[in-house]
Structure 1
């Protein structure tokens, strides 16, 4: 067994204490606090058949995340995030546009939904249209529910 001179041992021990102290100080540093418990902007958008969003049969659904970059399974996440930013996350502004279509009065309800978080705030939105034609006419020109 090799003996380590006392001076060398003392130097090594002092270095270990110093490094240990730095590691402890780093570990004890206060963690960064989140402004919200929610992600910045992450949504699930859906189109379902039925009157009530809680009981309607989901036909299509996509994910949309707008922060830090536009991503998700939405076919055009960049355009959808841009539209949401323009209306400050007010889905009702996108879903209630004037219809440019002539539709039948057939009652075959379609529900569009948005659940998740927009800019750190929880979102739960739904609106019901009389049929697919009314939905397409009311959301015409908007990308958010075009999937």
Structure 2
């Protein structure tokens, strides 16, 4: 049996400063009240570091928007006063799972129906998929 031995060397601080904290997410929309039990209808991947990419239709815009709210996904949800939605209860859940700037994230929010979801996420690049 052969083996090698050696001493591990720490990376210089200059090399570490150039690294990006990982930011890789899965954003999904599903029919149901809770993320754990919803029937997923569509999902996209979004990677923001080291560069914007993924199956999201506008990864650069979505990453810029998420950086502008420091990854606080709830800040992208706002009720539109001009929206006219029925009171039909057909819940839709939006989820975000993955890693944002090096930390694990799992976020979800539920809307009464798809009209309420669209009205609340209007203008959000991250949830435009």
TM-score by length of 2: 0.85
**Rg larger in structure:** 1
For residue 98 of structure 1, what is the aligned residue in structure 2? 79
Give, in whole Å, the separation in 1 of the partners of 2:73 and 2:93. Answer: 13
Once the two structures are TM-superposed, the CA of residue 48 in structure 1 deviates from its matched residue by 0.3
Any residues of structure 2 matched to 1:111-126 within 5 Å, and which?
A: 111-126=93-108
Structure with the bigger percentage of helix: 1
Q: 1:30 pairs with 9, 15, 19, which one?
A: 9
Superposed CA RMSD: 1.8
Q: 1:82 pairs with 64, 71, 74, which one?
A: 64
For residue 5 of structure 1, what is the aligned residue in structure 2? none
Q: Matched residue of 1:133: which SS?
A: helix
Structure with the bigger percentage of strand: 2
Any residues of structure 2 matched to 1:46-85 within 5 Å, and which?
A: 46-85=28-67
For residue 109 of structure 1, what is the aligned residue in structure 2? 91
Q: List 4+ stretches of structure 1 deviating above 4 A.
A: 31-34
Give, in whole Å, the separation in 2 of the partners of 1:135 and 1:29. Answer: 51
Q: Specify every segment of 5 or more residues in structure 1 that has no aligned partner in the other structure, as ranges.
A: 1-23
Q: Matched residue of 2:90: which SS?
A: coil
- For residues 34-90 of structure 1, the C-alpha deviation after alignment (integer angstroms, 9 at most, x for no partner) is 8xxxx6100000000000110000000000000000000000000000000000000
